[in-house]
Amino acid sequence: MKNNIFKFEDLCFILLTFIFSWTAWLILIGSGISSASQDNPLLLLWYLGQLGPGLSAVICSILFRKKLGLKFFNKKSKGLEVGSKSSMSSFKLVLVSISFPLIWLIPSIVYSIFISKSEFIISPALLIMNLIPAFIFSFTEELGWRGFLFRNISTRLSIYKGSIIIGLIWSIWHLPILYFSTFKDPNQFIFFLSTYIPTLVLWSIIFGWLFKASNQSILAVTISHTLFTVSYNLIMPFISASIISASILPMTTTLIIVMYIISKKNPSLLK
């Protein structure tokens, strides 16, 4: 049917992504090791699982388009070079990619310091150590979720509808590694998901809009995704101390950003 949301190649991508990532992560969870065991070689499964979307996208690209994956993705993605159909200049694109994650983080920092009186210490060395792997894995995620799946379904759906669907799938994909790295108490984990999943769906809308506004630049979305991931990792130590700074404030701030994007009255977003 012409109106199907997903084509066969999209379903294959989703299936391969979940098989690759969840297999690695479920083995990791089943091993019984702690996420704090930094010297355990099994933690490599954590990183291998995160490669799932990018590898699956390249495989599906080769299988269904008979082209080398990276050539396909680079066909329209030209880093931060904005094409004629883009609504942003390159400078504004970089600024937006950086500013959204910072806006998301600042309210939680302010709350943690001035309301909950938590010590919010950010080590420059820790920040750099987070940036490098975050960029690599954000790129592999965006190669798959936006570069392959969103690019495909956005030809059939609006940015808004397509991003919500991908956001829900993206949220579910994260569940095993979130459980391993964040909570061991199921009740606390479920409560955390009640704000985490809506937040990730909202971020999917932001990334979808940024991908479209940048003339399908994977690099632009990767920059924003990287900073989002790093800022989330900075909030993580305060989850047990303050659910407000770790969950409710980020979700509220993200909603405000999405409302700002919608207020721009982008026709392709509101359809």
Helices and strands per DSSP (H, E), number in the chain: 13, 0
The pLDDT score that the predictor gives to residue 198 is: 85
Return the closest-CA partner of residue 252 out of 111, 147, 58: 111
* Confidence category of residue 70, pLDDT binned at 50, 70, 90: very low
More confident call, 229 vs 80: 229
Query: Residue 171 pLDDT > 90, yes or no?
Result: yes
Residue 93 near residue 215 (C-beta atoms within 8 A):
no
Query: Residue 17 pLDDT > 90, yes or no?
Result: yes
Output the six-digit token pair for 264.
């721009």
State the Cα–Cα distance between residues 127 and 178, nearest whole angstrom: 20
The pLDDT score that the predictor gives to residue 2 is: 52
Average pLDDT over residues 231-236: 68
State the Cα–Cα distance between residues 212 and 16, nearest whole angstrom: 25
More confident call, 197 vs 85: 197
More confident call, 34 vs 226: 226
Average pLDDT over residues 105-132: 69
* Confidence category of residue 235, pLDDT binned at 50, 70, 90: low
Each as own residue / partner, the long-range contacts of residues 163-166 (CB below 8 Å, 24 or more positions apart, any chain) are 163/201, 163/204, 163/205, 163/207, 163/208, 163/209, 164/201, 164/204, 164/205, 165/5, 166/204, 166/208
Average pLDDT, the chain: 77
Residue 195 near residue 251 (C-beta atoms within 8 A):
yes
More confident call, 218 vs 90: 218
* pLDDT tens digits for range 196-210: 888 888 889 889 988
Q: Which of 3-12, 72-81, 111-120, 168-177 has the lowest mean pLDDT?
A: 72-81
Helix 186-213 and helix 90-110, axial crossing angle in degrees, nearest 10: 160
Dihedral of CA atoms 48, 54, 60, 65 in degrees, nearest 10, equals: -150
Question: For residue 129, what is the enclosing H or E element?
Answer: helix 124-144
| Reported pTM | 0.80
The percent of residues above 70 in pLDDT, for the chain, comes to: 69
The structure tokens 């690759």 sit at 20
Sign for the CA dihedral angle at 98, 100, 103, 105 comes to negative
* Confidence category of residue 138, pLDDT binned at 50, 70, 90: very high
- Tell me the range of 39-43, 146-150, 213-217 where mean pLDDT is highest: 146-150
Residue spans of alpha helices (H) in the chain: 8-30, 44-50, 52-65, 69-74, 90-110, 124-144, 151-153, 159-181, 186-213, 218-235, 243, 249-263, 267-270
Query: Residue 81 pLDDT > 50, yes or no?
Result: no
Query: Residue 100 pLDDT > 60, yes or no?
Result: yes
